[in-house]
């Protein structure tokens, strides 16, 4: 059985509490997401990511505002933010903070790959969702606004990004984005994030404490180790496949290198869990194919590329083997089913 991806309770609590502060009752939130505030007390705990995504997707309905992710992201408190940011604020500089945020990002949202790319003139703090299946616009908006709020808390209100990027189509309420980010906006990007002047990386954090940092670092290492050990080997392989399909270079040797083991070990470990690499690859491609075909804006040729097929014809043959019809027929069928 596939182990569900999870998210740290600290991430969930910020959005959950923000909805309640907006006036949404806990009863309504529970009815739609099965999440209760009493279950979000310990910021080290984890919940299945699907519960959080469901909450994010119903937030516009709960509030009557399509731009609610942006609004709540501006207003949300950093209380109960979880260990990653608690550790980051104890670092000496912005650069060190961002390195720690990325290093322990697995303790946050497992389906979003955190990145910090440093260049001479400009740097970027971003997240990339491993599949559109998990991409929830209100939640991405919330996190991007929270990133901006972190910068403002350290660098002051006069800080402005050089660019803001988003991993989805431009929404109708673009004016709200311009008001918040006050920078050029790019949509349909491979990741969502904030580009800023690299000179800010050397700026000091307000009140770093080396002693607290050392304690939190040890705790983060223990949590990260526990999270990794809780996963089966096939779950680790599945994650690597999902993260690298688009490169077209997913194979047993590459996975072995990522896991720092031999190809023979990968084969043997998967066999011990009663599954093969080929079956895992097919399962991931099949699952993502269904997800992508629900998005009318993604062409079938592009889906073929996203799934790692060298040619569209190979994707068509595989899809017909999986579902007994070609991708175009499947897309028309689900379109009729939802009309």
Compute the distance between CA of residue 241 and CA of residue 275 in angstroms, rounded to an integer: 14
Query: What is the pLDDT, as a whole number, of residue 200?
Result: 96
The pTM of this model reads: 0.74
CATH of domain 6-222: 3.90.1520
DSSP of 129-198: ES-GGG--HHHHHHHHHHHHHHHHHHH-TT---SEEE-SSPPPS-HHHHHHHH-S-EE-S-SSEEEEEEG
Compute the distance between CA of residue 291 and CA of residue 241 in angstroms, rounded to an integer: 16
The helix/strand/coil state of 65 is coil
- Do 232-337 and 6-222 fall under one CATH topology? no
Query: What is the pLDDT, as a whole number, of residue 194?
Result: 97
Residue with structure tokens 């008001």? 179
Determine the straight-line distance between the first and last CA of the chain, rounded to whole angstroms: 33
Residue with structure tokens 């699952």? 287
- Its CATH architecture, for the domain 232-337, is Orthogonal Bundle (1.10)
- Tens digit of each residue's pLDDT (9 = 90 or more) over 198-219: 999 999 998 899 999 999 999 9
- Tens digit of each residue's pLDDT (9 = 90 or more) over 241-287: 887 887 777 888 999 998 888 999 988 988 888 889 999 899 889 88
Instruction: Tell me the average confidence (pLDDT) per consecutive run of 10 residues in the chain, 339 residues long.
Output: 73 90 92 84 85 92 95 83 85 94 86 91 92 88 94 90 95 96 94 96 93 92 80 82 80 89 90 89 87 80 88 92 92 71
261: left (phi over 0), alpha (psi -120 to 50) or beta: beta
Query: What is the pLDDT, as a whole number, of residue 124?
Result: 96
Query: What is the pLDDT, as a whole number, of residue 321?
Result: 93
Query: What is the pLDDT, as a whole number, of residue 1?
Result: 43
Give me the residue spans of the domains in the chain: 6-222, 232-337
255 closest CA partner among 235, 240, 242, 268: 240
Check: CB of residue 140 under 8 Å from CB of residue 167: yes
């Amino acid at each position: 059985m596939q182990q569900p991806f999870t998210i740290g309770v600290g991430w969930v609590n910020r959005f959950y509490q923000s909805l309640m502060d907006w006036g949404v009752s806990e009863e309504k939130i529970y009815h739609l997401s099965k999440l209760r505030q009493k279950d979000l007390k310990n910021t080290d705990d984890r919940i299945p990511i699907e519960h959080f995504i469901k909450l994010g997707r119903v937030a516009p309905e709960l509030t009557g505002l399509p731009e609610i992710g942006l609004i709540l992201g501006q207003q949300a408190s950093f209380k109960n933010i979880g260990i990653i940011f608690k550790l980051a604020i104890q670092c000496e500089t912005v650069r060190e903070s961002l390195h720690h945020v990325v290093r322990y990002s697995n303790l946050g949202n497992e389906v979003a790959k955190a990145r910090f790319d440093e260049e001479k003139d400009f740097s970027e703090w971003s997240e990339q969702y491993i599949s559109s299946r998990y991409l929830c616009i209100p939640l991405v908006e919330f996190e991007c606004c929270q990133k901006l709020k972190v910068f403002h808390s350290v660098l002051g209100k006069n800080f402005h990004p050089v660019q803001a990027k988003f991993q989805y189509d431009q929404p109708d309420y673009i004016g709200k984005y311009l008001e918040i980010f006050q920078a050029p906006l790019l949509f349909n990007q491979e990741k969502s994030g904030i580009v800023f002047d690299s000179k800010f990386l050397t700026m000091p954090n307000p009140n770093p404490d080396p002693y607290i940092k050392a304690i939190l670092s040890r705790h983060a290492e223990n949590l990260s180790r526990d999270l990794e050990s809780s996963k089966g080997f096939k779950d680790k392989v599945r994650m690597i496949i999902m993260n690298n399909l688009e490169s077209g270079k997913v194979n047993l040797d590459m996975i072995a290198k990522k896991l720092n083991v031999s190809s023979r070990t990968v084969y043997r470990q998967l066999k011990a869990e009663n599954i093969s690499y080929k079956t895992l690859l097919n399962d991931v491609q099949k699952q993502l194919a269904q997800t992508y075909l629900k998005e009318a804006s993604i062409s079938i040729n592009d889906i073929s590329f996203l799934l790692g097929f060298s040619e569209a014809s190979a994707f068509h043959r595989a899809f017909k083997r999986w579902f007994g019809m070609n991708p175009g027929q499947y897309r028309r069928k689900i379109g009729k089913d939802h009309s």
